Amino acid sequence: MLLTTLMCLIMSFSLSIMLTPSPLLLGVWILITALLISVFLATITYSWVGFLIFLIYVGGMLVMFAYFTAIQPNQFMQTNNMFMSLAITFLLFFMILAPFTPSLLTNMNLLPNFSILSLYSSPNIPILMFLGIMLFLALVAVVKVSKSLLGPLRPFN
C-alpha cells in the first residue's frame, strides 16, 4: 500500500510540474518530486541508493536553481488556485486508479537481474562512456559560448 501511494504521489507531482506559474515554485515542486522518488527507491532497493540519488539530484538542482534565479527578473509570486486544484485532481485520479492496475512492484521476482549494478555491467560500458563524453562536450560548449569578459551573464538594471 505504501508503494502504490508513493507511486500515485510521484505521478501526480510529475504531471502537475508543467502547471507551475513561477520558477521558485517549480524548484520546490521538483525537489518534492525528487524526495518522493528517493523514498520510493529506498523502499524497493537498499536505503543508501535512495539517499545517494537524492543527494546527487539536489546538488544538481541547487546549481540550476542558482542560475535560474540569477537570470530571471525579480517578480512577486502569485497564488494560482487552478494549479492547486489540478494537482489535487491528479492525486485523486491516481489514488482511485491505483487499486485497479496490475503493479509491477508486486511481481519483482519475475524480473531477472533487477539491480542497480546491472547498469554498470560490461555490456553497458560503451554507453556510459558515450554519456560521459557527451556531458564533457556540453560543458566545454557552455564554457566557450559564455564570454565572461563582456560582463556578468545577468544584466543588473
Q: What single-letter amino acid sits at 5?
A: T
Q: How many CB atoms lie within 10 A of CB 4?
A: 17
Tell me which residue has cell 507511486. Answer: 7
Percentage above 70 pLDDT, the chain: 64
State the chain's mean pLDDT as an integer. 73
- pLDDT at residue 73, as a whole number: 67
119 has pLDDT over 70: no
Q: What is the pTM of this model?
A: 0.49
| Helix (H) or strand (E) segment spanning residue 149 | none
112 has pLDDT over 60: no
Mean pLDDT computed over 75-96: 67
Digit-coded pLDDT (tens) for 58-82: 888 888 777 777 776 666 656 666 6
